[in-house]
Structure 1
């Protein structure tokens, strides 16, 4: 019961090209999570990662289009602290030598016991909860798990895209993103104008504080965080 409570708020993305195994895992552990999403290759996995913004990613290592290690590296560039778990056939052991460089936190050799995986996910859930709320420029804080902004503990009502913007800035190197990177990650359209981006940023500042998101010489935007932490 304690494990179920810990996992209940979390979103999990499973990237597995063996569809039978993917469905079996979903049946075994899917009900524990608020959202359990499947993808069947690395490219689809990256797309669903960007849409779902999961708390945990589980991925097979050998897949078409993009393997699990390449997927892990791309995910870590966008959200450096997300735990990535690798599922591997015994024959993939040589590839696992690159798992540390890809930022993988754990790997399971097939066949494995779903209960063993579930127990490890419960451990991850405890770690996620402890580091979920991070301080930004006072008096703001941001919940990385729910992607919600708070002012003195009170929720600031942002749209999903606005919340995603804050999260993307926080997870980016030095909390900075260029204009083009913001457009690419926040909008599906091929072309987003500079004016539309400026209007979007202005709305975020109006809802929070003009000092929270700083313009960097017209090149991009910087999220102001509490440097004491």
Structure 2
């Protein structure tokens, strides 16, 4: 069984699982349906690529030999535009040519079938460990702030933060207190710009649209703080 700690961590991420054998596909879905925030299933590489472009999952787990487009071709195609999405390969094949090609695709893991619990846990832990060195914060359940990419990912949408918004959110998270108007002017606004009331009002209005509802609190006459 997956540990509660592992499940809690994985619940922030979305998965695309690609497998042409229906029985295996359904079994893995049953294991993962209460683990990941969202799961997308595909029966071949062609279908998987379409889902990938629409859903942008955090993790892709794929077989290699499949009809229409195999797993290697799928990942090669994705890697043309995305070098960072995490990929795990489950494969029954130990063919050296496949493994050499796979090694060039920056995988999290290449797992030889059959996949048992130990291999599965090891692969998922490797996926989580691949984020080490990048700061990812859970604002509230299903809302993540990725400091390295300057994005906030919610249940339905991902938001790209401006430089000012990223600085402000980092400040709010790291100080764990009210950030005063004076601090905002000195640390977030550059010397070339003055933090007018209108500029601040517009900044906060746009920033709130990218946050979970009601977590940014205005402390009248002082500044702002996060309520999380």
TM bracket, shorter-chain basis: 0.5 to 0.7
1:126 shift after superposition: 4.0
TM-score, normalised to structure 1's length? 0.59
Unaligned runs of 5+ in 2: 137-145, 171-205, 208-228
* SS of aligned partner of 1:37: strand
The reply on whether 1:12 has 2:15 as its aligned counterpart is: yes
Distance 2:80 2:147 in 1: 19
The reply on whether 1:123 has 2:126 as its aligned counterpart is: yes
Does the Cα contact within 8 Å between 1:70 and 1:102 map onto a contact in 2?
Answer: no
The reply on whether 1:3 has 2:6 as its aligned counterpart is: yes
| Higher relative contact order, structure no. (Cα contacts within 8 Å, ≥ 6 residues apart) | 1
1:130 shift after superposition: 4.9
Matched ranges for 1:34-45 at <5 A? 34-45=37-48
1:114 shift after superposition: 3.8
Distance 2:92 2:42 in 1: 18
Deviation above 6 Å: which 4+ runs of structure 1? Answer: none
Distance 2:49 2:109 in 1: 19
For residues 126-150 of structure 1, what are the alpha-carbon distances to aligned partners after superposition, in whole Å with 9 as ceiling and x for unaligned?
Answer: 43375252457xxxx3247973233
Q: 1 or 2, which has the higher helix percentage?
A: 1
Larger-gyration structure (1/2): 2
Distance 2:148 2:123 in 1: 28
Residue in structure 2 matched with residue 142 of structure 1 by the alignment: 151
2:112 to 92, 97, 109: 109
Distance 1:134 1:76 in 2: 22
Distance 1:55 1:106 in 2: 15
Distance 1:52 1:129 in 2: 24
